[in-house]
Amino acid sequence: MIIGAGLAGAKTAEALRDKGFDGHIVLAGDEADRPYERPPLSKDYLNGKADRDSVFVHDAAWYAEQDVDLRTDTVVTAIDRAAKRVEFADGDPVAYDKLVLATGSRPREFPGAGRDAAGAYYLRRLPDSDRLREMLKGANRIVLVGGGWIGLEVAAAARAAEVAVTVVEPGELPLITILGREVAQVFADLHTRHGVDLRTGVGVDRIEADGGSTATVYLDDGTSLEADAVVVGIGAIPNVELAERAGLTVENGVEVDAGLRTSDPDVFAVGDIANAENPALGRRIRVEHWANALNQPAVAAANALGGDERYERQPYFYSDQYELGMEYTGYADADDRVAIRGDTGKLEFLAFWLRDGRVVAGMNVNIWDQGDAIKELIGSGRVVDTARLTDPAIPLSEV
């Protein structure tokens, strides 16, 4: 039984079949659409470079062909671990031998007045992206609340549609807590060059709609912004309520070991909700990125079938904004030192985050032949010479 019919849930079902499991698989999720991938919702699908069918994990016939009982638009209300069954809002309970939780996350709502005002948008699900695509066709100006990855990707899509954009970010720079000042400045400058009105160091007090096509965003510095729509992108909250009610250990997500087992050995958790022990990092982390949803299910499926595998991949994510494409591998803290190799002005560079002289994360920007070398450098754990690390003439294998 798999709860959560997104990428992680669909990949769990796929992995079970690939590993030879021929038993009954129920894949249940509360969305009306069959499982799809979320990165296109703020990237290629949103900006019109990809069609709707391209976002789905499998074609519609795959689930029947693989004998996967896909139940969309289905709400799970409880997990009875003692009886080993799952209860639904509608329909009879379903018994399980092994259970995989892939319930994902939901957008963090704007905490002030106006979170549900007409003209306020959130982006998490495919219908959200559908609404945003339609809105961008007719909007003249929008306000983005939050300068994180989602906010900046939506800003780039809006500017491509020739919509005026204001981004409101309470931090000194967008992404500064993730990337540090020097690399965050690259993204700030990129958006400014493309005409984004970037308001930093200021928060949003409230959002008001006039009942028509205009919303007003009141900032905490006393100013206000008029917009046709307001897009809120201030983070996500893991959907752990089912796990909590079932008595599983929950702390910043559902706690799992390196094999993705929860505190109940017959229950596994994957994707956004999994706060997992990562042997490669020597620490427990929860990462809300596509790569976890894509890759963790194979480990969970193997272990559900009696194996003893460990999930040891480095975290990975990517972003595309205007002419900037990037990939980030590893896991850095806010106080890790940043070293740059290449030309940030030309948007062709590598960035490295160092702790105790060792590279713990790396990012390639518009340089596409260094990904494997960055992964090797992080995985080696060796102390590096920063002068050699930042010299483009020296291969990464020799720093």
Find out whether 21 and 104 touch, Cβ atoms under 8 Å: no
130 contacts: CB under 8 Å, gap ≥ 6: 52
Query: What integer pLDDT is reported at residue 213 of this predicted model?
Result: 67
CATH for 297: 3.50.50.60
Distance CA 348, CA 172 (A): 24
Q: Is residue 68 part of a domain?
A: yes
Distance CA 170, CA 153 (A): 18
Q: Is residue 312 part of a domain?
A: no
User: What's the length of the chain?
Assistant: 399
Q: Is residue 209 part of a domain?
A: yes
Whether 244 and 219 map to the same domain: the answer is: no
Whether 218 and 271 map to the same domain: the answer is: no
Whether 218 and 241 map to the same domain: the answer is: no
Last residue of a domain, one of 259, 277, 304: 304
Q: Is residue 211 part of a domain?
A: yes
Last residue of a domain, one of 207, 232, 257: 232
Whether 45 and 82 map to the same domain: the answer is: yes
Q: Is residue 262 part of a domain?
A: yes
pLDDT in single tens digits along all 399 residues of the chain:
999 999 999 999 999 999 999 999 999 999 999 999 999 999 999 999 999 999 999 999 999 999 999 999 999 999 999 999 999 999 899 999 999 999 999 999 998 877 667 678 999 999 999 999 999 999 999 999 999 999 999 999 999 999 999 999 999 999 999 999 999 999 999 999 999 999 999 999 999 987 666 789 999 999 999 999 999 999 999 999 999 999 999 999 999 999 999 999 999 999 999 999 999 888 999 999 999 999 999 999 999 999 999 999 999 999 999 999 999 999 999 889 999 999 999 999 999 999 999 999 999 999 999 999 999 999 999 999 999 999 999 999 999
Query: What integer pLDDT is reported at residue 120 of this predicted model?
Result: 86
Q: Is residue 217 part of a domain?
A: yes
Whether 75 and 60 map to the same domain: the answer is: yes
Tell me the whole-structure pTM to 2 decimals. 0.95
Whether 227 and 245 map to the same domain: the answer is: no
Last residue of a domain, one of 186, 201, 232: 232
Whether 184 and 226 map to the same domain: the answer is: yes
Whether 82 and 23 map to the same domain: the answer is: yes
Whether 217 and 241 map to the same domain: the answer is: no
CATH for 330: 3.30.390.30
Whether 226 and 242 map to the same domain: the answer is: no
Whether 228 and 136 map to the same domain: the answer is: yes
Whether 25 and 83 map to the same domain: the answer is: yes
Find out whether 244 and 250 touch, Cβ atoms under 8 Å: yes
In the chain, the number of structural domains is 3
Distance CA 304, CA 287 (A): 22
Q: Is residue 338 part of a domain?
A: yes
Spatial CA neighbour of 351 closest among 389, 324, 323: 389
Q: Is residue 317 part of a domain?
A: no
Domain hosting residue 264, numbered range: 2-106+236-304
| Radius of gyration in angstroms for the set of CA atoms belonging to the chain, rounded to a whole number | 22
